[in-house]
Amino acid sequence: MSGLAGGPVPATPAPPAPARSGGGWWKGVVIGVPYLWLAVLFLVPFLIVFKISLSETAIAQPPYLPVFEWGSVSGLVESARELSLQSYNWLVSDPLYINAYLSSLRIAAISTLLSLLVAYPLAYAMARASNQLRPVLVMMTILPFWTSFLIRVYAWIGILRNEGYLNQFLLGTGLVSAPLQILNTNIAVYIGIVYSYLPFMVLPIYASLERMDRRLLEAAEDLGCTPVRAFWSVTFPLSLPGVLAGAFLVFIPAVGEFVIPDLLGGSETLMIGKTLWDEFFANRDWPVASAVAVILLLILVVPIALFQRIQAKTV
């Protein structure tokens, strides 16, 4: 049709399609499932452990006094008044636990630094490799995860002991005249942690380096930067998100590590994961062990929160 002036009449826009009524419900389900998962598998167990930490040790099954007696409201209030902070007072007064926390933080920090020194050259070489070789290198990095963690740690016992493969190699090459005592020392713990958690450091750094624009390095070289200066001015700053992510992925689980110090460390190796195991199963002091676990979680909340902030900024 034509208007009064003979021109075409503009078409009337179609009304917007009505929104689906089930969209909001489905979005709520998608969002609610992760929160339900965290509530069932993290929040509820944490509340149970926290409740046990406020109890007192008893010769019973389970070996602690009940904190809440589910019955009447008055009984619940009466039991709530009997909450005990004795376990937390014991942790503060006994230097064993304080030294265990400090030793765990120190060993985890040193292991994280060693992992970074080993992982960064590997990740850099992987990022500089050809497109055909990169998938093979990534597969070789994650290949140890196909084997049981416990078996891999046990394998280091055969390597590091006095009659192990490492000492046989050193003696055969004449580098040492007597076997080195590596097993049952902190050095063995460092080796075990670095080996076990190295992929967690390599992969985030590799992801950051692989996404880097190579033209920035060409521009730096055109401006007169040497390769070393270009690395520290361009490459390393751009890879910092991967470095920080890998550091947190290694440091957080290493603090509470139990298997590696128990199998590779000696009697002088003091870590909070080993102390926690002893309190639960050797001493059967569940309230103190639960208090140790709660304090450990509170210590790890800070790096976990920092890691989440870094991840949010990189997305």
DSSP for 268-307, written as a single string: T---HHHHHHIIIIIS--HHHHHHHHHHHHHHHHHHHHHH
66 in Cβ contact with 286 (< 8 Å): no
User: What whole-number distance in Å separates Cα of residue 53 and Cα of residue 65?
Assistant: 11
Q: What number of other Cβ atoms are within 10 A of residue 247's Cβ?
A: 24
CA 13 to chain centre: 54
Q: pLDDT tens-digit profile of 217-248? A: 888 888 888 888 888 888 899 999 899 989 98
Q: Which of 232, 245, 240 is nearest to 112 (CA)?
A: 245
The predicted structure's pLDDT at residue 155: 92
95 in Cβ contact with 225 (< 8 Å): no
Q: pLDDT tens-digit profile of 21-34? A: 555 678 888 888 88
The predicted structure's pLDDT at residue 247: 93
Six-digit token string for 163: 């009659």
The predicted structure's pLDDT at residue 1: 47
296 in Cβ contact with 276 (< 8 Å): yes
273 in Cβ contact with 104 (< 8 Å): yes
Identify the burial level of 298 via C-beta atoms within 10 angstroms of its C-beta, where 0-12 means exposed, 13-18 middle and 19 or more buried. Answer: exposed
128 has a pLDDT exceeding 80: yes
Mean confidence (pLDDT) of the chain: 83
DSSP state of 43: I
124 has a pLDDT exceeding 60: yes
Q: pLDDT tens-digit profile of 260-310? A: 998 998 878 889 988 888 888 888 888 898 999 999 988 888 777 777 776
88 has a pLDDT exceeding 80: yes
Q: Which of 254, 272, 288, 258 is nearest to 100 (CA)?
A: 272
289 in Cβ contact with 280 (< 8 Å): yes
76 has a pLDDT exceeding 60: no
Give the pLDDT mean for 68-81. 51
Identify the burial level of 11 via C-beta atoms within 10 angstroms of its C-beta, where 0-12 means exposed, 13-18 middle and 19 or more buried. Answer: exposed
CA 278, 85, 89: angle at the middle one, nearest 5? 65
3-state SS class at 212? coil
User: What whole-number distance in Å separates Cα of residue 185 and Cα of residue 166?
Assistant: 15
